[in-house]
Amino acid sequence: MDANDRLKNWEDLDISREEIEDLTKCLKQEEFRKLLIEYAEEVTNPDNRKLYEKELSQLERERGVDVTFVNPEPGYVIKTTCNGVIKCFINISKSDNVAKPTSQPSHEAGARGLQWSIPFTLAPPRDDVDKKKQLCKVFDVVFHPDTVYLAEKNERFRGILEDTAFDGVEEHFK
């Protein structure tokens, strides 16, 4: 279900007065609030997430599939458009599970420089809504933390990183 469908479902929410009253009544009960808080803490607890990932990895290994969970840290966002029509956001993030960038000396056209290899991984694109509740598309591009650090310190390298992100998104999600 994309963001537009979720937004429409929320707008089309058909909840009766009785259901609202029941929910209001439940939220006034101390025991219900405690259970709701306990549930929210359980599903957001990093230890529970690690346990879930461990169990899921084990199940996948039993099926002969090697799984690595990439839980990226935020970097920054590039705002652009897809085909000049729909607003798109490219999240540049970082994870140690992605290989470090490497460089080789280059002597193209008589100029000395470096030829960079910048590994990255992509998550499938997802639909979302922006601050104005307009449909947009979000792409997550994950680099090694050293790559993002170099981009923060060097404007030319930042351009290379962003070109790499654009190329990756365009190539994999035409």
Query: What is the pLDDT, as a whole number, of residue 113?
Result: 85
Helix, strand or coil, per DSSP, at residue 105: strand
Tell how strand 113-117 and strand 126-129 pair up: unpaired
Per-residue pLDDT of the chain (174 residues; tens, 9 = 90+): 556 666 666 666 778 889 889 989 999 999 999 999 998 888 888 888 888 888 988 999 999 988 888 889 999 999 999 888 889 999 999 999 999 999 998 887 778 888 899 999 999 999 998 888 889 999 999 999 999 999 999 999 999 999 999 999 999 987
Domain regions of the chain by residue span: 16-62, 73-172
User: C-alpha angle with apex 141: 138 to 142, nearest 5 degrees?
Assistant: 140
Query: What is the pLDDT, as a whole number, of residue 14?
Result: 76
Query: What is the pLDDT, as a whole number, of residue 6?
Result: 61
Helix, strand or coil, per DSSP, at residue 113: strand
Residue 98 to residue 113: CA distance in whole angstroms:
25
- Enter the pTM of the model: 0.70
Query: What is the pLDDT, as a whole number, of residue 10?
Result: 64
Alpha-carbon dihedral sign for residues 128, 129, 130, 135? positive
- Burial code (b: 16+ CB inside 10 Å, e: under 16) for 99-116 equals eebeeeeeeeeeeeeeeb
CB 88 within 8 A of CB 138: yes
